[in-house]
Structure 1
Amino acid sequence: MTMESTTVHNGWYLLAFRSELTREITPLAVGHRRLIAVREDDRIRVFDADCPHRGAHLGYGGKRQGDCVVCPFHGKRINLGDTTRPWSVAEHTVLAWGEALFVRLTGDPGGDRGFEQAVTAWETTYPLVEAVTLPVAVASEYVVENAFDPDHFKAVHGVPGTRGMATRTGDGGELVIEGEFLMQTSPWQDARRLEEVRWEAVRTRTVRWDYKPRFLARAFSPSVVVTEFGPPDEVHVIVTGSVPTAEGGCVARVAIGVRGDQRSALPVLIAGSEKALGEDKVVWEHLNPRAAVEYDARDAPVRAFRAFCADFGGLTDAAGEAGAAR
């Protein structure tokens, strides 16, 4: 079982899906950082969860009363978001994109890395739907690192090949990797068509890379990456996020966005995401995080991602414990 980091970094997290927020006040966490999500009709707000009086968790028994939560321990009215008040909890920036809820934990104005502007460009054309939620016994950063590890696509997922896969810094300070997948046909074809293509390659002893989808992934934090995948007329948006747990593992989530005229592809995309994350889980949970690492030239994108992560400092949790950056 591979579990090491419990760091809560500044920046964005894919905190939850709407289906997980069924109560007026829902307890949540990012590592040791305890949070509550508060529903106000269709709006969702996120706050620190620790009562400033004696540290009770406001998400377990707390009752909403106007702009306050009544603490379940001593009945004090704790203001939501107005930190100028004597008893209050801080509010965090939230972005709702389709069925996914993102939260930004940071006091650093630069911690956005262009995410809010990017979501504005995506959300209408590619509304997100919930695809996968999977607890994984691995440090959170490994989940997003996958997008910056081209060789794993072939070894773990059977992708025939990739081309390009160069990294750069985006306009908002996000980390970008771009290239092509080399495939015989679209993986979203029905099973019979995929089998026909395979047998044609066997029969002719010739492999043709007729499907070369563009792969463009943008990491906005160590825990959120948005990937545009496919040729111009078949682009899908895949959002992968990870939230560290207090025990040292994480919860991985995948959300998918497609254009309205391509919604029929969603079942196959969701099934593919479940399969891929399951394949990754087997590898992740048998890594040795203390093993000596020897990178080679092909690991340049992974090294770029790790350098990107190092720019995100750790945050102090509500109990005052400071997290350290990796």
Structure 2
Amino acid sequence: MTVHHGWYLLAFHSELTDEITPLAVGPRRLIAVREGDRIRVLDASCPHRGAHLGYGARREGDCLVCPFHGKRIGLGDPSKHWSVAEHRVLEWGDALFVRLSDDPDGNCGGDRDGDRDGDLEGDRGFEQAVKGWEGDYPLVAAVSLPVAVPSEYVVENAFDPDHFKAVHGVPGTRGMTARDGEHGELVIEGEFLMQTSPWQDARTLEEIRWEAVRTGRVRWDFKPRFHAQAFSPNVVVTEFGPEAERQVIVTGSVPTEDGGCIARVAIGVRENQRAALPALLGGSEKALAEDKVVWEHLDHAVTPRYDARDEPVLAFRRFCADFTGGERA
């Protein structure tokens, strides 16, 4: 199991109920520390003897008091004798993202205000992109689900056009080609081919189905745009739908020590589309459950025999290989 550098959708705010919450990315032990409305993420192992600061430590000023020997541990302050590294975080609606690296200051080679050019293990334009989304599309937690599959498979789904039809019943797709983005992110874009918007009321949908039966012709009148950007092997943001109905779907995965992962999905819609949000949240839960059945019954001993339709998947796998330097367990 590899813990890649880069961004993770680490948790939803509903999962961070205490002042100090233990978290993990694979074998990498972390803590989330609440400071009013702000959340900080730091390494969890006490530098004295390795005690987990997420279990029994208490806050005292600008330090945590270790539950094992009572040492005062600084929070991201290397000037102190004992200190744990801090990691860059980003909060967007209900979602907390963390950016991991081997940098001793936990900043992935970038300063607190932005990234240096060429930081391929770091941001990939994520923070700048979020600034463009968060005002109009506040994220709402949709689903958090443990899955017995390596974490990369979760984000890979966005780059696997054929699975949309086979697994989720999407009638068809068009385009769906992958390319490099401006900041080193990986982009795939195309169209879904559908008879009508899935958010139409049930009566309208039934009328369209019966029209197709009567005429023997299926009209693809609804062709929503699909535009997904992977900013790391573990975070992808998808813009879906025509401009008037556009939604933003954030999919993330966090590896677990048993070789599986926690898959999370969050949804953002504009204020005038809030009425559609319950259906979108339910649809996300249904889709992830459908994926889980396939993922958990994969035979990883089979040598893949890719064809031309798999080129976006191969592009994603090459993208993952760029995120070097993570821990391996």
TM-score (normalizing by structure 1): 0.94
Q: Give 1:234 deviation, angstroms.
A: 1.0
Q: Distance in 2 between matches of 1:286 and 1:246?
A: 19
Q: Give 1:7 deviation, angstroms.
A: 1.3
* Residue 95 (structure 1) aligns with: 90
* Residue 193 (structure 2) aligns with: 182
Any gaps of 5 or more consecutive residues in structure 2? Answer: 110-118
Tell me the percent identity: 77
More off after superposition, 191-200 vs 99-108 = 191-200
Q: Distance in 2 between matches of 1:71 and 1:290?
A: 44
* Residue 66 (structure 2) aligns with: 71
* Residue 319 (structure 1) aligns with: none
Question: Would you say 1:80 and 2:75 are equivalent positions?
Answer: yes
* Residue 199 (structure 1) aligns with: 210
Deviations 1:61-98 (A, max 9, x none): 01011111100111110000012321000000000000
* Residue 135 (structure 2) aligns with: 124
Question: Would you say 1:254 and 2:249 are equivalent positions?
Answer: no
Aligned length: 313
* Residue 50 (structure 2) aligns with: 55
Question: Helix, strand or coil: the match of 1:53?
Answer: coil
Deviations 1:2-24 (A, max 9, x none): xxxx2110000000000000100
Letter of the aligned partner of 1:100 in structure 2? A
* Residue 3 (structure 1) aligns with: none
Q: Distance in 1 between matches of 2:271 and 2:64?
A: 40
Any gaps of 5 or more consecutive residues in structure 1? Answer: 1-5, 317-322
Q: Distance in 2 between matches of 1:56 and 1:307?
A: 37
Q: Give 1:132 deviation, angstroms.
A: 0.6
What is the aligned counterpart of 2:34 among 30, 35, 39? 39
* Residue 149 (structure 2) aligns with: 138
Q: Distance in 2 between matches of 1:254 and 1:98?
A: 12
* Residue 156 (structure 1) aligns with: 167
CA contact (8 A) 1:7 1:314 kept: no
Q: Give 1:194 deviation, angstroms.
A: 2.1
Q: Give 1:192 deviation, angstroms.
A: 3.0
Q: Give 1:190 deviation, angstroms.
A: 2.6
Question: Helix, strand or coil: the match of 1:112?
Answer: coil
Q: Give 1:289 deviation, angstroms.
A: 1.6
CA RMSD of aligned residues (A): 1.0
* Residue 320 (structure 1) aligns with: none
TM-score (normalizing by structure 2): 0.94
Letter of the aligned partner of 2:257 in structure 1? A
Instruction: Considering Cα pairs closer than 8 Å and 6+ residues apart, tell me whether 1 or 2 has the greater RCO.
Output: 1
Q: Give 1:278 deviation, angstroms.
A: 0.5
CA contact (8 A) 1:215 1:230 kept: yes
Deviations 1:188-215 (A, max 9, x none): 2233322222222112111000100000
Q: Give 1:226 deviation, angstroms.
A: 0.1
Deviations 1:152-176 (A, max 9, x none): 0000000000000011111111000
